[in-house]
Every structure is written in C-alpha cells, then in structure tokens.
Amino acid sequence: MSNSTINKEESWLELENWRKKIDELDHQLSELLCQRLNCAQNISDLKHRMGEQVLQPAREKEVLENVLNKADSELKAHALETIYRCIIEETRVFQHAWKQQRQHSS
C-alpha cells in the first residue's frame, strides 16, 4: 500500500472519529436544550402569574453577554451570537405557544 493510500485511510478514520464526537455533542446539546425549554416553561408560568411579558430584552442581552464572554475568538463569538439569537428567539416562540396552550386548556 502506498503512503498516500494509508494517509487517506487514516484521514477517513480521523474524520469518522470527529463525526462521532459531534454526534455525541449533538446528543448532549439536544438534552440540554430540552432542559432549557423546561426551564422556559416554568419561567413562562411565573411570568404569567406575575403579569410579566414574555419578551424581556434586558434579560436576553444578559444571556448573550454571558455566552459571548466564553468565546475564545472573535469568529467563535460571532457564531455563538448567531446561534444564541436563534435559541433565544425559539425559546420566546416556545413560551408564547406554552402560554397559549395553557390558556386554551384552562
């Protein structure tokens, strides 16, 4: 076997190992995001009882700042900001849907 064939096979094995690592991380992320949504459900209930709105820009800004402070590069900070803006938006949508579901079932 030539060196280039061996290197290519090793590269494919390495690629598969990295993909497995990403699959593991995706599994952990999905579990954590479900936990986050459970927290959002509880927060939605509390906000409803307190007469508070779902949208709270100051808190959303705080969440973003907390996340961006963990980034070790500007490129990662930009990616994290984009990802977390989506997470925050979808959590807000989820809270509204939860609130609507509760109102219709009451």
Task: Look at 65-69, 83-87, 98-102 and tell me which has the smallest mean pLDDT.
Answer: 98-102
Give the chain's largest Cα–Cα span.
72
pLDDT at res. 48: 84
Asked whether the beta carbons of 68 and 77 are under 8 A apart, the reply is yes
Give domain 3-105's CATH number out of 2.60.120.370, 3.10.20.30, 1.10.10.10, 1.20.59.10.
Answer: 1.20.59.10
Among candidate residues 63, 66, 68, 62, the one with its CA nearest the CA of residue 81: 68
pLDDT at 93: 92
Say whether pLDDT at 95 is over 80.
yes
> How far, rounded to the nearest angstrom, does the alpha carbon of residue 16 sit from its chain's CA centroid?
24
Structure tokens at 59: 């808190």
d(CA 85, CA 72): 19
Phi, psi of 12 (to 5 degrees): -65, -40
C-alpha–C-alpha distance, residues 94 and 27, integer Å: 21
Q: What's the confidence (pLDDT) of residue 2?
A: 66
Q: 68-77: per-residue pLDDT in tens? A: 999 999 999 9
Domain ranges of the chain: 3-105
- pLDDT tens track for 6-63: 788 999 999 999 999 999 999 999 999 999 999 999 998 898 889 988 888 999 999 9
> What is the average per-residue pLDDT within 100-106?
80
